[in-house]
Structure 1
Amino acid sequence: MIVQRRAVTAALAAAALLLAAGCSSDGGSSPGGGGSTTAGGASSGVSSGASPSGRTAERTPPAKGTVKVVRTVAEGLKSPWGLAPLPDGGLLVSSRDDGTVVRVDEKTGRKTELGKVSGVSPAGEGGLLGIALSPDYASDHMIYAYFTSASDNRIVRMLYDEHKPAGEQLGAPDTIFKGIPKGYIHNGGRIAFGPDGMLYAGTGESGRRGLAQDKKSLGGKILRMTPEGEPAPSNPFPDSPVYSYGHRNVQGLAWDGKERLFASEFGQDTWDELNAVKPGGNYGWPDAEGRSDDSRYQNPIAQWHTDDASPSGIAYVDGVIWMAGLKGQRLWRIPLNGTKASADPQAFLTGTYGRLRTVAAAGGDKLWLVTSNTDGRGKPKSGDDRILELEVK
C-alpha cells in the first residue's frame, strides 16, 4: 500500500504536530440539496457556531470583510484543479481531465504546458487533482501530485526542468504513496506540505461510506506522511499515515499562523463543513453530518447547506479562512478566533464566476482563485475557466 522509502531524518522526527479538518458532492448537484436545520433547530442556510463574545489572547479579524477582483490573470484553462505558486514567479495548474500541468505567467497570462503526467486515468471526479511543491523546491525542483490511476488514487513526485522544451519539462512520476481508494465520486485530492515539513493529503471515501470509520482504510481520511511517503513521526496511530478520520470527501487544507490545520469537507444531504483538525480526531461520517451531540465526534467550526457551498479549496490570510464553493458558486469568508469562527461566515462573488475550485494565498492581502465550470462528470458548462487575482480583507 505504501511505497517504502528511506528513513526520515532526526530533524523531521522532531517536527511538531498541530491541528485541522473538512466534504458534499463535487458534481453540480447533491442528493438532498440542503434544507436541514441548525444545531439549535432554527432553519438556516449557514451556521457558524461562533461563540459569544469573550476575552482571548488572539487578535480576531473584523466580523465583516471585503473582496475586490483585481484582474483576470488567465483564462481558457481546461478543467483546472490544483494550483501551486512558484517561488520565483509563475503559477502551476493541474488539469484534472487532460492530466497535464501548465505554467501560467501571472503577469501576462501566458500558458506553457510542462507535460502530461503518465498514469492518470480521469473519470467522473477523478483525474489529476492536487499539486504541491517540495519543501526543498529551491534545490530539488520536485512537484508532488495526487491523481487517480486505473486502480487507485496515489501520490507521485516529478522533476520540473524548465530548461527543456515546452511539453517535455515534466519528469517521469515517482510513486511515493499508493492504495488510496478510487471511485467515480469522492476521490479527495488536495495535498499540501504543512509547517512541519510533512505532506498532508485529503482523501474521499470513494462512495463507500463505511471506509471513513475504518482506521485501516485510507479512504475518508486526512493523511500525514514524510516527503518520501512514509507514515510521519508522531502520527496518532502507530505505523499509520492516518492523521484524522470519519471524513466524507476532503478537498481543502490550510494552516493558520499558529500552525493549526483546517479542512473543508463535502456533506451529502444537509451540511458541508469547515473543521479544525485534531490528530486522531473522528469527524463523524457517515454517522454524523454537520454538528452532533455525540461526544465521539469532532464538531465543525462552521457548516453550510450543500446548496450554498460544496466546498473545495481553502486558504488562510490574516485571521480568516477563505473557502471556494462549487455548487454554491461563491467565496466564503470565515473569520477566526483560535479554532472557532468569531462571526458568521460571509459570502462573496455569488454566481459571478460560476463554480469555484481552488483558492491560494498570493502574499499580503491577495488571493489566487481558480474557477471550475466543468461539472463532476466531465461535461463542460457555459463559460471557460480562469484564474483571478483578488484583494481581500
Structure 2
Amino acid sequence: MSHRTRPLVLAGALALTLAACSGGGDPPSSSGTPASTSGTVSGSEVLADDLDVPWDLAFLPDDSALVTLRDSARIVRIEDGRTTTVGTVPDVAADGEGGLLGLAVSPDVEEDDTVFVYSTTDEDNRVLRMTLEDDGLGDPEPILTGIPSAGVHNGGRIAFGPDGHLYVATGDSGDGSNAQDPDSLGGKILRITPEGEPAPGNPDADSPVWSSGHRNVQGLAWREDGSMWASEFGQDTWDELNRITRGGNYGWPEVEGEGDDGSQFVDPVATWSPADASPSGIAVDGDGNIVMAALRGESLWRIPLTGTGSSVRAGTPERLLEGEHGRLRDVERAPDGSLWLLTNNTARGQPREGDDRVLRVELD
C-alpha cells in the first residue's frame, strides 16, 4: 500500500504552516505537528459517572441529554443529576471498536419524537430510527444497512446538518480499498433523508455518498457559515481535521495527510501525530472554533479558525485538559454554551475511580 505523506515535522514545532490545498476550491490546509500550546478552562463538573464505554451524546429540547453506551447497547438519559436507562438496542455486536455508536436527535423531535442511532451487528453497520415514548424509546427500525463492519474502523458518528439531512460517518472497516470504491458505503461520509434514502443534491442521485477517501471518520460538525468539518484517524503518521465539501475525495488509502502538489485529493486543514490526537468527536464553540476530543492524546484540542468558505484559515491549535481526564471520546456544545465531554477509559487505557464520566467544562 502506497502512502504519499509529508516529511515528519518535529513535535516541538511552534506553528502550523499554511499551504495551498489540492482538490480545487477547498480551503487552504494547515500542515505540520501543532505546537502543544496550553489553553485554560474554567474548571470541570462531573454530570454523570460510572458509565460503561459511553460513545455519543445528543441533547433533547428540554436540555437533558441522551448518551449511547457502546458495549451494553443501552441508551441513557442524563437529567438534573440523574442517569436513567431509556432504551436498549437489540442485535448489537460489541466487537472491538464496534457496538452501539452514534446518536442523533431529529431537528423536528418536538413534532416527530424521533432519534437515530448507528450500530454494529454481526452482518454490518447500520442506521436505526427510534421513537421517544413516555416510558423510554421504542423498538428500532433500520433505515440504512450494508455499511461494512469489522473489529476496527467502523466510523459511527451521525449528525443532522443545517440542511435537515442526516450525515453518517463510516470507516473503511480495515480494508482501505473500500474508501475509493464508489459501490462501497465504507470509508465515506453519507448523506441521507430521515427515511434512509439518498438525500436530494448528492453527487450521485442514486447514492448516499457525500464524500469519499476516508479512513475512519468519528467527528462531524458545522460552523454558522454552513461549512462542514470532520475529524479522521490516520494510520501511522497524520490524524486530520478536514473541511468537507460535496463530492470531495480525501485520499485514503493513497494519501495520509497532505498529498503531492496537484493531487486530485483534498488536503486536510490541520494534522496531528496520532500520539497527540487520535481524534474522535468534534464540536464548534461559541467563537466558531473547532474543539476536538482526543483519545490517545488525552486532550481537548481547540483549533482557531478565521474567515469563511474557501478563505478559512487555521491558527495554532491549543491543547486543553492534557492528561486530566484520560481519553476523551466526544465533545458537544450544550444549549447553555458550555461543552460536555465523554471520557473513554473503561474500554481502553487506565480507568480511574468513577470512570467513565460525562463532564461539563467552559473554555476561557
* Counterparts of 2:185 and 2:10, CA distance in 1: 35
Contact 2:292 2:331 in 1 (8 A): yes
* Counterparts of 1:380 and 1:40, CA distance in 2: 33
**CA shift at 1:50, angstroms?**
4.0
**Match of residue 360 from structure 2:** 389
Contact 1:324 1:358 in 2 (8 A): yes
What pairs up with 1:229-308 in 2 under 5 angstroms? 229-293=196-260, 294-308=262-276
What pairs up with 1:109-148 in 2 under 5 angstroms? 110-148=82-120
Counterpart of 1:310 (choices 253, 278, 287) is 278
Distance 1:150 1:90, change over 3 A: same
* Counterparts of 1:284 and 1:320, CA distance in 2: 25
* Counterparts of 2:94 and 2:9, CA distance in 1: 41
**Match of residue 216 from structure 1:** 183
**CA shift at 1:362, angstroms?**
1.0
**Match of residue 92 from structure 1:** 66
* Counterparts of 1:206 and 1:141, CA distance in 2: 32
How far does the alpha carbon of each residue in 1:301-333 deviate from its partner, in whole angstroms, 9 at most, with x for none? 000000000000000012200000001100000
* Counterparts of 1:175 and 1:42, CA distance in 2: 45
Contact 2:280 2:329 in 1 (8 A): yes
How far does the alpha carbon of each residue in 1:28-72 deviate from its partner, in whole angstroms, 9 at most, with x for none? xxxxxxxx99947642377744469xxxxxxxxxx9853222411
Contact 1:194 1:200 in 2 (8 A): yes
**CA shift at 1:343, angstroms?**
1.2
Letter in 2 for 1:183: A
Letter in 2 for 1:76: D
Counterpart of 2:45 (choices 66, 71, 89) is 71
Distance 1:41 1:373, change over 3 A: closer
Secondary structure of the 1:159 match is strand
Letter in 2 for 1:308: D
Aligned length: 339
Distance 1:79 1:236, change over 3 A: same
**CA shift at 1:150, angstroms?**
1.3
Contact 1:49 1:341 in 2 (8 A): no
Higher relative contact order (CA 8 A, sep 6+): 1
Distance 1:84 1:238, change over 3 A: same
Distance 1:45 1:89, change over 3 A: same
Contact 1:315 1:322 in 2 (8 A): yes
**Match of residue 31 from structure 2:** none
- Structure 1, unpaired ranges of 5+: 1-35, 53-62
**CA shift at 1:118, angstroms?**
1.2
What pairs up with 1:30-179 in 2 under 5 angstroms? 39=6, 42-44=9-11, 48-50=16-18, 66-105=40-79, 107-108=80-81, 110-161=82-133, 163-164=134-135, 169-179=136-146
* Counterparts of 1:150 and 1:41, CA distance in 2: 39
**Match of residue 344 from structure 1:** 316
Identity among equivalent positions (%) equals: 51
**CA shift at 1:134, angstroms?**
1.1
Letter in 2 for 1:95: L
Letter in 2 for 1:325: A
Moved over 6 A (4+): none
**CA shift at 1:143, angstroms?**
1.1
- Structure 2, unpaired ranges of 5+: 21-36
Counterpart of 1:361 (choices 309, 320, 333) is 333
Distance 1:37 1:201, change over 3 A: closer
Contact 1:225 1:232 in 2 (8 A): yes
Counterpart of 1:325 (choices 294, 310, 313) is 294
Contact 2:63 2:335 in 1 (8 A): no
How far does the alpha carbon of each residue in 1:148-196 deviate from its partner, in whole angstroms, 9 at most, with x for none? 01100000011111x22xxxx2211111000000000000000000000
What pairs up with 1:174-213 in 2 under 5 angstroms? 174-213=141-180
How far does the alpha carbon of each residue in 1:232-283 deviate from its partner, in whole angstroms, 9 at most, with x for none? 1010123110000000000000000111100000001000000000111110
Contact 2:5 2:256 in 1 (8 A): no
**CA shift at 1:102, angstroms?**
0.3
**Match of residue 21 from structure 1:** none
Contact 1:49 1:302 in 2 (8 A): no
* Counterparts of 1:313 and 1:49, CA distance in 2: 24
Distance 1:380 1:342, change over 3 A: closer
